[in-house]
Amino acid sequence: MVINTSKNTLLDSYISLATENTKEKFKTKDVNLVKVTSMDDAAVSREIKRLEQWEAHVVSHEKMHLLTSGGLAGAPSYTYTYGPDGKKYIQGGEVKFYLPSGLSLENGKAAVEKLKAAATAPTDPSPSDQRASAMASAIEIALENKLILKKIKESYEKAKEQREAFDSSFGENASVFASFKFNEVSGFELFI
């Protein structure tokens, strides 16, 4: 038997002993190797627990979108990853929002407000949730502008009718008074 005097690890000593005596090779265990294996089991357990917690978080996050969408969202879809135990775990998810076509401006605005609320319903909105909320805000602003334009057009039409009624009552003398000219881009302009 040869004793190695260099500063090798305990594992190196066992390897040199095992190569000299094949009977001893199978009887000797490295205590450090056993600890590493048990540490690996602990790491695997921690990873599985982390995956399970993340899966629960993703499911509740997507459920919040679904519950607050007012029926304007589809079912959640998920992406998966495999854990160290070979099982599938939910890694990410999404809920698609839908705006029905043919809504009036008022109903469309209400639907967009629901979508905006649903996008930011979870306590920790993701970047895609924030983008969806920003898009809903942009749509909401566009709808508000259309509503304002609609009211301006209605006011113009009413003023035009009143003007025509006024002109018919006063005849040629009515041209002294102000007249309105409607402009689609900037609303209306007042000419005196």
CB-based contacts of 53: which residues, under 8 Å, 6+ apart?
Answer: none
pLDDT in tens, 1-23: 333 344 444 444 444 444 444 44
pLDDT in tens, 124-134: 888 999 998 89
Query: 73 lies in a domain?
Result: no
Contact yes or no for 52/59 (Cβ under 8 A): no
Query: 108 lies in a domain?
Result: yes
Q: What is the pLDDT of residue 177?
A: 52
Counting Cβ atoms within 10 Å, is residue 153 exposed (0-12), middle (13-18) or buried (19+)?
A: middle
Q: What is the pLDDT of residue 64?
A: 93
Query: 81 lies in a domain?
Result: no
Domains held by the chain: number: 1
Query: 27 lies in a domain?
Result: no
Query: 23 lies in a domain?
Result: no
Query: 113 lies in a domain?
Result: yes
**Residue 187's domain spans which residues?**
100-192
Below-50 pLDDT ranges, the chain:
1-39, 178, 185, 187-192
Query: 143 lies in a domain?
Result: yes
Query: 180 lies in a domain?
Result: yes
